[in-house]
Structure formats: C-alpha cells, structure tokens
C-alpha cells in the first residue's frame, strides 16, 4: 500500500465514539433549531464546518441536507478539474496519468454516491431504519475513502508533483466537507439505539455444504451440470436464483475463452429480480486482468476450485502501477459473488505493493476462494464485504483497505517476506471516526506458511498496524499460531494513531493469542462478548439482510 506521506490533520474532540456529541447537543432534539456553532461541535473540524454552513439557526436535518448538496456540487467541480489535467497527458508521465485516472474513476463514484445520499436525506426529517441508514452511511464513508485513495496515489507518484500541488488543496477542502456531511448524517439520521444481535437458526449454523444450491431453468441447469460434472443438491441453505449461465473454457468448448469477454456479455444494471448472471470458469490458468464494472451487478462467478481455476497477473508499484490499479482482479459491481477461484499476483516480494484482489463492490461475497501475493495481497477498498472459507497469503499489510469487511472461517497465511521486512496481517485505513468501516476476523486460522515457519532467521509477524488515523481491526474466536509476535500489533510511525485506533481481541486461541504481553496503546483493548457482538456479520454488516440470497454459509452472531 502507499506510504503515509500526507494526512489531513483534524482537531480531535473525542476519540473512539461513532460520532461526536457535546452534552448540550446530545440533549437537543434533532428537529429543534440550533446554531451552526452548536451543530459543528459534532464534527471533526468545527471551524471549517462553521465556514460552510448557513449562519442561521436550523435543525440538524436542514444543516445535513445543505452539507450533502455542497458536497455533490464540489464533487462535480473536482471531477472537472481532474479532467482538465488528463487533457494535458502529453506533458505528464505514465505514472502521473495512472494516478489521475484512478482519481477520475473514484470521483465519478463519489458523484453517484452523493446523488443517492441526497435523495435519501431530502425525503425525511427523522431517524432512518437501520438498514437504510447503514446504506447511506456506507456510501458517505466510501466517499472519504475514495478521496484518500486519490491522494495516496498522487502522493506516491514522485513525477506527479505538479499535479499533486494543484489537487492537494481541493482534495483537502473536499475531504473536510465530506467529513461534515458524514458527521451530520450520523447525528441526524442514524439510529442511536444499539442494533440487536440476531441469533442464527440451527439450519443457518449447519449450512456448510461445499456447493451452492442453485435454482435455474432446466436448460441452464443442464449446462451447469455438464460443465461442472456435479449434481446440484438441495440442502438447508435454500436456493440461489440464477437467470442465465455462460461458460468460460480455454479449450474453446464453452461460450468464451476469456473471463473478461464473459463479463462483457453479462447484462447491465439488473435489479436481481431474476437472480444472478452466472459465469462458470472451468479449470485453467487465466493470465488476464479482470475488471468488473459497477453496472455488472448481480454477477456470480464460480470456478472449479482453489488452485484449479486460477486468475493471475503481476502488476506492481515498482513497475509503475498505482497500488489501486495493480490488482489482478478488480470489482466494483454491487452484489458480486465469487466461489471456488484462486486470484494471484505473482510480482513477488521484491516488487512491493502488488494487489491480487481489489474489492470495492458493495454487498459482495467471496466463498471458498484463495488470494495469493506478498505485500498488499487483498485490498478491501470500500463498502460492505464478506469472506467465508477463503485463504489469504501475504507478507506486509496483506489485508488492507477501508471497507466494512468480515472474514469468517478463513485461513490467513503469513509467508516469508524480503530480508529486512516484517509481516503485518492487516493495515486498516479508516480516516474518520464516523465511518462504519473496519476489519473483523472471526473463527479464522492464522498459521505461518512452511517457508516462514522453517526459516532460520527471525521474522516478526503482527496482527496489524494502523495505516490511517482511526484504523479499526478486531480478531475474535480465531486460532493464532506461534508466529504472532507477543506484542500482537505494530506501530506505523512513532505514536501515529495509537490513541485513535481501535484494535481489539476476543476469545482467541492458540500460542499466539496470549494477550499478557500485548501493546499498551490507548486504542488497544481486550473486549467482552457484548462488544465483540458489534463486529459480527449481523451487527457490523447487517448481513442477515443480504448474505442469505447468495447461498453462502455464515454464522450471524458469535460462535
């Protein structure tokens, strides 16, 4: 991942609360008119907040709508500014162009997210239902992540200094404005009551079948059973609707010989009413860079198994790619599901940041997949993500990003890094305490690979380190082998984020789980079951609302 070269400095009012309420503000009903000075006390930068809000008494909803409207307007201006720089490509280096293209792509997403958010906040002056509030809070959280990703790409591109200088000020101001919008939305529309922890039924707890029960037409079913050589079995997990199927096979026996051609053939902007468009990828090594655009929603991709269906590439930062665009497989399409696939980046440790999977797909699910790389293997970039029964291999910061991501029943494999490096399993990138993001690792196994375990040199392996100021990662009910350093966690740089991060452990096992010699940072804690429940599939992802339709097994609460 990119280094922490630049970071917006905000005054800190309170550190680890989901939003910032002064006592007087907390006692003020949301519909009562208050001054901009009072409402701005619930934001990270009250002075900046007061400079952009109307100088008159309004309620929190009017202030919030005003902020979101301004945010949308600024996002349009920033997109236009990036476009102006891209029109001068002849004077730019390839790395600068790459960073700008990332920014342009992310800025277009921000406009979409803000347009959707404004539609919601314009229609109500009261707290939203939890699911709807979570949708908007997720979008506003992702907008800040997209801004930071754009900045990180520019900062890590030395040849882009002139572009960086021209964009740093608008990036800084826009980020502050987006932070105000997120804070006011959280203050006015997000329910204050703690979400109830849903308890899974016996059937959902027992659903561990290795194949998804797919519901499809007889013609489609015949195609699937022919290429997969498997009979579809009914089980307690229910059925998954499939609208159509195409087959990718390198020998020409399917509909397509490349994965990208199959993705291009998928319908655009479907609502999912008729189920998933299924791409079945037969065994083979597919040397291609797969990109699944936002309009390819409700796409399901099934391979023939880990190390059978393999997608591989070797893009990396050393060779001039941005971290964001180094991914072998990138997806931003909502409701994406992948099963039985290995995704690799083979650049090697010497090439530093080299992403296998970059996931910015909301409500996405990966089941029985493998992600293989070294530094920055799995980029959980943004929005809501669930990983079940997956394997992740890497060295430095090999699970990183700022999504709300839950890993359940997965295997995390730290491997042998370059000389002079240490391993960090996670580097979570939360930049604002109102973002509903973080990494939750539940009922997983953390074991060193054979090359690391048998190395004659001492390699330090840590559970994580704080990439950004409000980094949030929780390990619970997981096995940790002896490769984990007794301190557990590593600092990023000096005392950066040690007070503002949220790192927690709950009821883990194994020789590496002993917390008696853990770090003593203000932001680290050993938590109880009540706190741990906040990071379960049910509470952290509201996963009971969307994971069942995927057919993927999961446990809703604590195990």
- Is 118 a domain residue? yes
**What pLDDT is attached to residue 456?**
65
Q: Give the residue from 365, 358, 352 showing the smallest Cα distance to 328.
A: 358
**What pLDDT is attached to residue 92?**
85
Of 136, 166, 189, which residue is a domain's last?
189
Q: Give the residue from 419, 420, 422, 382 showing the smallest Cα distance to 398.
A: 422
Crossing angle, helix 60-86 and helix 94-121, to 10 degrees?
Answer: 160
Distances (CA, A) of 379 to 220, 261, 305, 358: 34, 24, 22, 5
SS3 readout for 501-541: CEEEEECCECHHHCCCCCCCCCCEEECCHHHHHHHCHHHHC
Segment 240-256 mean pLDDT: 91
Do residues 40 and 51 touch, judged by C-beta distance below 8 A? no
Range of the domain at 139: 36-189
Of 130, 163, 189, which residue is a domain's last?
189
- Is 56 a domain residue? yes
Query: What is the phi/psi pair of residue 255, to 5°?
Result: -80, -30
What does the pLDDT look like over 300-311, one tens digit per residue?
A: 999 999 999 999
Flag whether pLDDT at 210 surpasses 80: no
Range in 45-59, 234-248, 375-389 the model is least confident about: 234-248
**What pLDDT is attached to residue 159?**
62
Do residues 145 and 431 touch, judged by C-beta distance below 8 A? yes
State how far the Cα of 557 lies from the Cα of 559, in Å rounded to an integer.
6
Distances (CA, A) of 148 to 104, 111, 182, 381, 492: 13, 15, 15, 11, 17
Sign, CA torsion 84/90/96/99: positive
What does the pLDDT look like over 336-371, one tens digit per residue?
A: 999 999 999 999 999 999 999 999 999 999 999 999
Crossing angle, helix 130-155 and helix 161-188, to 10 degrees?
Answer: 160
Segment 437-445 mean pLDDT: 98
Flag whether pLDDT at 238 surpasses 60: no
- The more confidently predicted of residues 121 and 198 is 121
* Contacts of 408 by beta carbon, 8 Å cutoff, 6+ apart: 386, 387, 388, 389, 442, 443, 444, 537, 554, 555
- The more confidently predicted of residues 17 and 536 is 536
What does the pLDDT look like over 251-309, one tens digit per residue?
A: 999 999 999 999 999 999 999 888 899 999 999 999 999 999 999 999 999 999 999 99
- Is 131 a domain residue? yes
Residue 440 has which token pair?
């939750």
Of 126, 158, 189, which residue is a domain's last?
189
State how far the Cα of 95 lies from the Cα of 315, in Å rounded to an integer.
13
Model-level pTM? 0.90
Confidence tier at 192 by pLDDT (50, 70, 90):
confident
- Is 311 a domain residue? no
- Is 237 a domain residue? no
What CATH number did the domain enclosing 52 receive? Answer: 1.20.140.40
- The more confidently predicted of residues 453 and 22 is 453
- The more confidently predicted of residues 20 and 215 is 215
The residue count of the chain comes to 559
As separate numbers, helices (DSSP H) first and strands (DSSP E) second, the chain gives 13, 28
What does the pLDDT look like over 99-145, one tens digit per residue?
A: 999 999 999 999 999 999 999 999 899 999 999 999 999 999 999 99
Q: What is the DSSP letter of 256?
A: B
Q: Where are the alpha helices (DSSP H) in 122-201?
A: 130-155, 161-188
Flag whether pLDDT at 440 surpasses 90: yes
Single out the catalytic residue among 397, 432, 451, 481: 397
Range in 76-90, 169-183, 223-237, 492-506 the model is least confident about: 223-237
Flag whether pLDDT at 486 surpasses 70: yes
319 is catalytic: no
State how far the Cα of 225 lies from the Cα of 227, in Å rounded to an integer.
6
For the chain, how many structural domains are there in total?
Answer: 2
Query: What is the phi/psi pair of residue 11, to 5°?
Result: -70, 145
Segment 540-548 mean pLDDT: 95
What CATH number did the domain enclosing 481 receive? Answer: 2.160.20.10
**What pLDDT is attached to residue 228?**
58
């Amino acid at each position: 991942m990119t280094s922490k070269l630049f970071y917006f400095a905000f005054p800190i009012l309170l550190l680890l609360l989901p939003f910032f309420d002064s006592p007087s503000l907390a006692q003020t009903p949301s519909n009562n008119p208050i001054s901009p000075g009072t409402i701005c006390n619930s934001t990270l930068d009250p002075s900046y907040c007061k400079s952009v809000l109307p100088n008159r008494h309004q309620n929190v909803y009017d202030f919030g709508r005003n902020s979101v409207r301004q945010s949308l307007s600024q996002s349009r201006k920033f997109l236009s500014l990036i476009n102006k720089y891209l029109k001068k490509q002849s004077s730019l280096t390839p790395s600068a162009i790459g960073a700008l293209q990332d920014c342009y792509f992310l800025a277009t997403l921000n406009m979409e997210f803000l347009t959707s958010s404004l539609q919601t906040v314009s229609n109500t002056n009261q707290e939203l239902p939890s699911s709807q509030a979570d949708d908007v809070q997720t979008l506003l959280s992702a907008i800040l992540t997209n801004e930071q990703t754009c900045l990180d790409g520019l900062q890590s591109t030395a040849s882009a200094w002139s572009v960086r200088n021209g964009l740093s000020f608008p990036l800084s101001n826009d980020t502050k404005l987006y932070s105000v919008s997120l804070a006011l939305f959280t203050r006015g529309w997000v329910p204050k009551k703690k979400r109830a922890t849903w308890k899974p039924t016996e059937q959902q707890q027992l659903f561990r079948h290795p194949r998804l029960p797919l519901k499809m037409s007889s013609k489609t079913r015949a195609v699937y059973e022919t290429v997969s050589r498997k009979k579809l079995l009914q089980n307690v997990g229910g059925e998954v609707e499939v609208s159509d199927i195409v087959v990718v096979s390198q020998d020409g026996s399917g509909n397509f010989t490349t994965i990208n051609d199959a993705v291009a053939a998928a319908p655009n902007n479907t609502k999912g009413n008729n189920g998933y468009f299924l791409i079945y990828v037969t065994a083979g090594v597919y040397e291609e860079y797969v990109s699944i655009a936002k309009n390819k929603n409700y796409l399901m991709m099934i391979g023939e198994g880990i190390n059978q269906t393999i997608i591989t590439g070797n893009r990396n930062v050393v060779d001039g790619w941005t971290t964001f665009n180094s991914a072998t497989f990138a997806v931003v399409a909502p409701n994406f599901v992948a099963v039985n696939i290995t995704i690799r980046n083979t650049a090697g440790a010497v090439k530093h940041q080299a992403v296998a999977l970059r996931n910015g797909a909301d409500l996405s699910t990966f089941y029985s997949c493998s992600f293989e790389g070294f530094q920055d293997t799995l980029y959980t970039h943004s929005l809501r993500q669930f990983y079940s029964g997956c394997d992740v291999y890497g060295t430095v910061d090999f699970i990183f990003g700022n999504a709300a991501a839950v890993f359940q029943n997965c295997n995390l494999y730290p491997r042998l890094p370059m000389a002079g490096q240490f391993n960090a399993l996670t580097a979570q990138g939360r930049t604002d305490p109102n973002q509903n993001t973080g990494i939750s690792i539940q009922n997983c196994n953390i074991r060193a690979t054979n090359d690391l375990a048998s190395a004659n040199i001492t390699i330090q392996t840590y559970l994580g380190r704080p990439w950004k100021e409000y980094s949030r990662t929780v390990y619970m009910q997981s096995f940790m082998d002896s490769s984990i350093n007794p301190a557990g966690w590593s600092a990023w740089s000096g005392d950066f984020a040690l007070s503002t991060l949220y790192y927690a452990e709950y009821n883990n096992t194994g020789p590496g789980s002993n917390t008696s010699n853990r770090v003593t940072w203000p932001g680290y804690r050993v938590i109880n079951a009540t706190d741990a429940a906040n990071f379960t599939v049910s509470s952290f992802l509201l996963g009971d609302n969307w994971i069942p339709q995927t057919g993927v097994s999961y446990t809703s609460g604590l195990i």
